């Protein structure tokens, strides 16, 4: 790996630990990837790795165009196809975080939209989409997940499974994933209190979607 790829690996190792500590995923659920801007390959967690115990040797280098694993690298995660398909349709994306956040998945399964309550939710998440249940680790899931974000959306819930969250950097993708689940938890609380309408002011959400807002 190049020094830049090795740095991305260290960033993903840190994200894995934080994601497990925050309850966004348990153990070996989920997978992470990143690439240098414009690169034709990405680093991705290998099969069976635990996100809070990641080491540099738990990553593999995979060609984005055809999924070929670079010589000497371990087998990538079974969900690597989702990452590769996403990079193919989003030239601006350099990190993909796939986690299993329970509240986000629960609300989606119940048909309850995740509401963006705070300015952080609105700024980082902006929009949440979802796909129906599709068997994990399949080309069909990879293509559905990529299609859901092809036009610029950065957060998609994969039905009864998890989420795929994107960013121009590893840090931004992580912030979006954290805010997605926080928004889901806030939504669940609001629903338990009988509230079905409260959300961040729509004018602020419109501004951040237009690239004008800040936190």
Banded model confidence at residue 58, pLDDT cuts 50, 70, 90: very high
Tell me if residue 111 falls in helix, strand or coil. Answer: coil
How much is the pTM? Answer: 0.94
Where does residue 180 rank: exposed (0-12), middle (13-18), buried (19+ CB within 10 A)?
buried
Domain boundaries, the chain: 3-209
User: Which CATH entry fits the domain spanning 3-209: 3.40.50.800, 3.60.20.10, 3.40.50.1820, 3.40.225.10?
Assistant: 3.40.225.10
> How many angstroms separate the CA atoms of 104 and 101, rounded?
6
Closest by Cα among 182, 191, 195, 119 to 155? 182
Strand, helix or coil for residue 109? helix
What pLDDT does 71 receive?
75
Known active-site residue 79:
yes
Give the pLDDT confidence score for residue 48 in this predicted structure. Answer: 86
Give the pLDDT of residue 127. Answer: 96
At 26, list the tokens: 């348990």
As a whole number, mean pLDDT of residues 16-33 equals 92
Sheet holding 162-167, edge to edge: 59-63, 41-45, 31-34, 95-99, 162-167, 155-158, 129-131
The CB density around residue 24, as the number of other CB atoms within 10 Å, is 28
Q: Tell me the pLDDT band of 77, cut-offs 50, 70 and 90.
A: confident
pLDDT-derived band at 62 (thresholds 50, 70, 90) equals very high
Which entry of 36, 53, 79, 168 is annotated as an active-site residue?
Answer: 79
- Rounded average pLDDT over 141-169: 98
For position 1, what pLDDT does the model report? 82
Instruction: State the Cα–Cα distance between residues 92 and 38, nearest whole angstrom.
Output: 8
Question: How sure is the predictor about 26, in pLDDT bands with cuts at 50, 70 and 90?
Answer: confident
- Annotate 42-64 with b (16+ C-beta within 10 A) or e (fewer): bbbbbbebbbbebeeebbbbbeb
pLDDT at 209: 85
Tokens of 46: 């290998």
């Amino acid at each position: 790996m190049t020094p830049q790829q090795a740095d991305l690996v260290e960033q993903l190792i840190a994200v894995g630990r934080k994601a497990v500590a925050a309850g966004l995923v348990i153990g070996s659920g989920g997978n992470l990837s990143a690439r240098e801007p414009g690169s034709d390959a990405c680093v991705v967690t290998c099969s069976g790795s635990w996100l809070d115990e990641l080491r540099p040797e738990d990553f593999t280098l995979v060609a984005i165009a055809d999924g070929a694993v670079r010589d000497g690298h371990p087998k990538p995660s079974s969900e690597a196809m989702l990452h590769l398909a996403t990079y193919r349709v989003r030239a601006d994306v350099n990190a993909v975080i796939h986690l299993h956040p329970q509240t986000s998945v629960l609300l989606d399964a119940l048909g309850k939209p995740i509401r963006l309550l705070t300015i952080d939710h609105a700024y980082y998440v902006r929009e949440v989409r979802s796909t129906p249940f599709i068997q994990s680790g399949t080309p069909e899931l990879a293509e559905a997940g990529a299609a859901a974000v092809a036009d610029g959306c950065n957060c998609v819930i994969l039905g009864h499974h998890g989420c795929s969250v994107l960013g121009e950097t590893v840090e931004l993708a992580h912030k979006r994933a954290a805010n997605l689940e926080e928004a889901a938890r806030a939504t669940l609380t609001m629903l338990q209190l009988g509230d079905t309408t409260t959300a961040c002011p729509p004018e602020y959400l419109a501004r951040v979607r237009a690239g004008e807002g800040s936190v």
